Structure 1
């Protein structure tokens, strides 16, 4: 009897030791997460709490920020405003003080990048609380038609989780509830929703000798460049809005119009922006001169094209100030040949060209 009690006591102590060890691991992990999240500039209290809860998701958000920043710079590479100084200091803080159409694009592309990167990280298994989309898991019956049978398989992108997390994190910085906040929230939603709408269905054939007796299909993310291109089209068609007060508080409308005709029909008609439109409150500055107030870096020193009529032409990019011409000569390797074995032999060629920069 004493031996049984002894074994039970040892077992209880063993369980207590394991529980204590697990508690210490959680405490160390929590402390490490708190230190990590405390060092990231620009986070709101709500964002810091989310960071402590899911630090692995914040890594994906950082990748999403980089995606959005690179895509923004690519899309505006030849414009007066080229997105070069956005998100340089505080990665997750507010960007662009002026509520312009450029601000609309940056919020949309940042939100799209966040949803995209979190969704991709889930599919790779890099976030512990998410994975593949269970709604598109492999089933015996599958889908398709008798003529073209297929079934769900592989790992479908769980874009709904990515959108939810991106919405919680990106919208957590919008605290003021003024017209600019409503604009940012609208463009945030447009960006992340676009990622879901652009999901594509990829399939793989199965069968003997390359035949396609059955196909396995899954939902996958598109190349992010396609998301940036689509948002650029929305940027070019962005709508101006204004704030109005209603029974439910402040709302944004496209315009105020009045009915023509009788005096009875003088009530303004409110035209609401569509969910997938980019919207802005203020006209864009010309971005010709450097201005901290508008977030403009100016175009002085920017490389331009002397010929042509696009946004990167010297006439448009230099804002009428003219341009400088610099004659550049450099030596490059040319006429390279592979010699057996194993050497590459190149000649040296002199190259001369002209470079034009805005005054």
Structure 2
């Protein structure tokens, strides 16, 4: 069960109201949304229909984050209860890196999808993928561009303008957020897929028409989860152009040593997730760290189960309660033509373990 913030529903209602009024009134209504910077309010008043897509993207990110961390001590639920478009995690941890990346991936993804559906007046299909063949010529014997290719560049640009606009401090944490924001948006473009449709008599494939489309958002979450596990610790240095983030010497000595041979610092890669501070243990409830704690969480007590949802790890050594549950469920269901489903009633018993 996903946690969808009530604030998000309120913001979407406000934005739908904005679409129906004049630009003057739009600016007034955008000023009512809490947590927005001046630049974000300006974008809201100029393109309220795009802000609806951002709200959808926020929901995508929220659901995917909770799915990826569903069995972990930190399950990505409390963080999404705060202001939708404001800063969402105070601790500069590995979990914060994932949260900012998935939020930006959701924003770029949803705006791109809204463009393809025609829901945003200033964008549509990607015009670069038109009337050119697979070999770059205007006509190809094998296939040609057609359909509606996803305009991911527009989605990334608008998401960057809006999401990066809140990073006004220009400190180490702001630089970390900007890096992870870009990693999430860039991943959307990298994972675009090419869909094709065959044309010809009796199903033959004399010619194929192809277009770029968005993959399922679950793929974004899976890839970012892989990057979460490989996230790099960084530290701030001051250069001629101001503050920069480099790989931490303590955490990544090999990378720094290789860079030192070239007499330069080791910069994080564009698609890497980065963080500044170690993660809390998330065992106890803490609003500061965005943790609800693990008390009352259901855990797994199976022989040989040592994953993050095991009672040993999830309960943080506090132990767990065992409850024996019996219930009646439908079973052995059969479909009878037409149109009825008949099921038997079966009794089942099982043990449920919850952290103390």
TM range (shorter): 0.7 to 0.9
Measured in 1, the distance between the counterparts of 2:198 and 2:161 equals 38
Measured in 2, the distance between the counterparts of 1:109 and 1:61 equals 13
Aligned position for 2:308: 311
Measured in 2, the distance between the counterparts of 1:155 and 1:337 equals 43
Measured in 2, the distance between the counterparts of 1:221 and 1:295 equals 31
Aligned position for 1:292: 287
SS of 1:135's equivalent in the other structure is coil
CA RMSD of aligned residues (A): 2.5
**TM-score (normalizing by structure 1):** 0.86
**TM-score (normalizing by structure 2):** 0.87
SS of 1:33's equivalent in the other structure is helix
Aligned position for 2:321: 324
Contact 2:149–2:213 under 8 Å retained in 1? yes
Aligned position for 2:268: 273
Q: Name the larger-Rg structure.
A: 1
Shift of 1:295: 2.0
Instruction: Please list, as runs of the form range in 1=range in 2, the aligned pairs for 1:228-247 lying within 5 A after superposition.
Output: 228-247=221-240
Q: 1:328 to 1:157 in 2, by over 3 A?
A: same
Contact 1:138–1:154 under 8 Å retained in 2? no
Find out whether 1:79 has 2:72 as its counterpart: yes
Unaligned runs of 5+ in 2: 1-18
Measured in 2, the distance between the counterparts of 1:338 and 1:182 equals 58
Measured in 2, the distance between the counterparts of 1:342 and 1:210 equals 34
Find out whether 1:68 has 2:47 as its counterpart: no
Contact 2:116–2:150 under 8 Å retained in 1? yes
Q: 1:329 to 1:31 in 2, by over 3 A?
A: farther
Shift of 1:147: 9.3
Aligned position for 1:351: 348
Measured in 2, the distance between the counterparts of 1:27 and 1:163 equals 26
Q: 1:340 to 1:217 in 2, by over 3 A?
A: closer
Aligned position for 1:56: 49
Q: Which segment is superposed worse, 327-336 or 279-288?
A: 327-336
Number of matched pairs:
329
Unaligned runs of 5+ in 1: 1-25
Deviations 1:222-247 (A, max 9, x none): 11111111111111000000001111
